Amino acid sequence: MALPDIQDEFDNRGIELDRVGIAGVQYPIRFDDGSSQHAGIATFDVTVTLPAERRGTHMSRMVEVIHDELQDLEPDRLPQALKVAADRLDVDMVRVRVGLPMAFLVQAPASGKQAWQVCDVEFAAQLTSDGPELAVTVGTDITSLCPCSKAISDYGAHNQRSRVRLTTFGRDEDIYPLDVASAFALIRSVGSSPVFPIIKRPDERVVTMTAHDHPAFVEDMARDLSRACRERRVAHEISVRNFESIHSHDAVASVHWAPQERVVS
């Protein structure tokens, strides 16, 4: 006996819904972008724009899309996955957000000790009438030492951990302009010093003196990272937050940039 499909009923209220779907779906994935490979549990959101005449969408099909098309996550294949999702859900606009931690092996500067440094990564892909778009966000920590504190003090200067988030934007044929490993490395190259998961006493000496020799305001870090992305002609958005060590507030800076010939939503 055929069961009724209530979601496909006609809706006469005449109201289109911007986003309808599922959120917080945890699912195992394998990630491969050609530069690095990771495996783990990712968190998925899948939403569509629901036409005014449609009462609902088929959310079980969204889980099927995750299982069939996104379990092996390759950024270059995301446009194809979005088109499959749009066909299965019978919509024109579909959005997929994937969040997962990734780890990269880093080496302490003096002892050479290696350990995994974890960063937060998010892929936000959407298929619109203008084609596929992808925003990739990488967030990780670095060290910053205050230039003003160094300049006015007889010795020493206050320093702190800084959280940097870099979002790069791609579309159409250039859907993935900067891979995650490169974004992670770029973030660690700005500021006063990278942070390390293992620091022995010789490493601490090197990191402390490196930070002292490379003071950086929150503004400096945002500008230096933006310049590195602009040199690569990569559309981007950057946010930097200093967890200040001597102030009762944090310091923040942000910037957004896109090449003139490229419009990024």
Q: Residues of the chain whose pLDDT is less than 50?
A: 263-265
Residues 146 and 214: their CA atoms lie apart, in Å, by 9
Q: What is the pLDDT of residue 264?
A: 47
Q: What is the pLDDT of residue 8?
A: 77
- Count CA atoms within 13 Å of residue 239 on its CB side: 8
Q: What is the pLDDT of residue 97?
A: 98
Among candidate residues 193, 184, 181, 213, the one with its CA nearest the CA of residue 109? 193
Tokens matching residue 30:
């394998």
Residues 99 and 167: their CA atoms lie apart, in Å, by 13
58-77 residue pLDDT tens: 899 999 999 999 999 999 99
Q: What is the pLDDT of residue 262?
A: 53
**Residues in Cβ contact with 87 at an 8 Å cutoff, skipping those fewer than 6 apart:** none
Q: What is the pLDDT of residue 261?
A: 57
**Residues in Cβ contact with 186 at an 8 Å cutoff, skipping those fewer than 6 apart:** 166, 178, 225, 228, 229
Query: Going from the N-terminus, what domains does the chain have, and what CATH number goes with each?
Result: 7-257 (3.10.270.10)
pTM for this entry: 0.93
Among candidate residues 119, 125, 100, 106, the one with its CA nearest the CA of residue 40? 100
What's the one-letter identity of residue 42?
A: A
Q: If you search the block for the tokens 């940039």, which residue do you land on?
A: 257
Phi, psi of 226 (to 5 degrees): -65, -40
Residues 12 and 54: their CA atoms lie apart, in Å, by 9
127-173 residue pLDDT tens: 988 899 999 999 999 999 999 999 999 999 999 999 999 999 999 98
Phi, psi of 198 (to 5 degrees): -120, 125
